[in-house]
Amino acid sequence: MSLTRKRRKALKRLQNNAEELWLDQQAVLDRANTIARETKKQLGELTKEELAPRVKSAVDTIAPAITRNVAAAKVAADTVRSKFASDVLPALGVALGAAAEVLHIAHNPAIRKVVSKTKSTSKKPIGTYFAIGAGLLAVAGVGYAVWQTFRADDELWVSEDDIDASAEIIE
């Protein structure tokens, strides 16, 4: 393919411009990399001088409040656990024991004999009343256990003064 002299000059000029542009772009990228390295260095220094002391100061002021709240939560959990073990479990055991005793008594042949004699003389079945009474006792035992577990104890709660003091420290 043969090109005219004018066209070759235009292409040569375009090629020179493209090479200059390429060199300019490389220079700009080198300068941008230099600036990015310096920025990174300055940010590191700024972090050491300004940000790290502020964060350490905030952590030092908040840490005691967090420690107190964690300790209070542990005490509350231990108290709930001990109340459950000392109040709920025994009451539940008593209620279940009473229910088992009622079932055991109901299968006793002597009791069945008395119940059958009473049944024949009375129109109202005594066993039904006895079972209702035992059921009510069991429900009352479970209710008492639940009430003992969830009743309010002053030792379980963190006072509002501690919460307000923690909020002021954070602000």
Say if residue 111 is exposed, middle or buried (CB neighbours under 10 Å; 0-12, 13-18, 19+): middle
Q: What is the pTM of this model?
A: 0.34
Q: Are 125 and 119 in contact (CB under 8 A)?
A: yes
Over the chain (171 residues), the average pLDDT of each successive run of 10 is: 87 93 93 92 90 85 82 82 78 76 74 66 65 85 80 59 57 51
Identify the pLDDT of residue 154. 53
Domain ranges (residues) in the chain:
5-170
- Collapsing DSSP to helix, strand or coil, 51 comes out as helix
Identify the pLDDT of residue 110. 74
Identify the pLDDT of residue 162. 57
Identify the pLDDT of residue 58. 83
Q: How far apart are the first and last CA of the chain?
A: 79
Q: Are 156 and 80 in contact (CB under 8 A)?
A: yes
**Amino acid in position 145:** A
The length of the chain, given as a count of residues? 171
